[in-house]
Amino acid sequence: MSKTTKAVLLSALVFPGSGHLYLRKYIPGLVLFLCSLLAAYFVFSSAWTEALEIVDKIDINDAMTNPNALADYVAAESSAATTSSWSFSEIVFLVSWVIGIIDTYRLGRIQGEIDAGSSTDDMA
């Protein structure tokens, strides 16, 4: 497996910026990593807040006696939450992920060409 392929897979499957770090492009890798980490924090923070709001609305006594009512209520609340538009942090996270994959591929190809050129120069 080539170095470019490994870097792209790291960036696509692990976390944005990890492919850059593998290619030793530390500044762009850390920028992507930190932007993505901050966006992920806000995504999970808002999801956690919504979950706590749902929990606060649930009548504890009714939920304890009727689990079907609890399931229906949670399903209704979560379907209402999923119909909302994407938040800014979700868009930032998605864009940084895509940019990370594309840029990692680009940088890997450039490094591969440089490595191939230097190895043929060494042979001559």
pLDDT at 119 over 70: no
The pLDDT > 70 percentage for the chain reads 81
Average pLDDT of the residues of the chain: 83
How wide is the angle at C-alpha 102 spanned by C-alphas 99 and 91, nearest 5°? 25
The C-alpha atoms of residue 100 and residue 15 are separated, in whole angstroms, by 9
- Which pLDDT does position 62 carry in this prediction? 58
Give the pair of three-digit tokens for residue 74: 């949670």
For residue 124, pLDDT over 60 is answered with no
- pLDDT, one tens digit per residue, over 28-68 is 999 999 999 999 999 999 889 887 877 777 766 555 566 77
Give the residue from 11, 45, 9 showing the smallest Cα distance to 28.
Answer: 11
By C-alpha distance, which of 102, 95, 115 is closest to 11? 102
Residues 6 or more apart whose Cβ sits within 8 Å of residue 46: 87, 89
Please tell me the distance from the alpha carbon of residue 114 to that of residue 109, in angstroms, as a whole number. 9
For the chain, what are the domain ranges?
A: 3-116
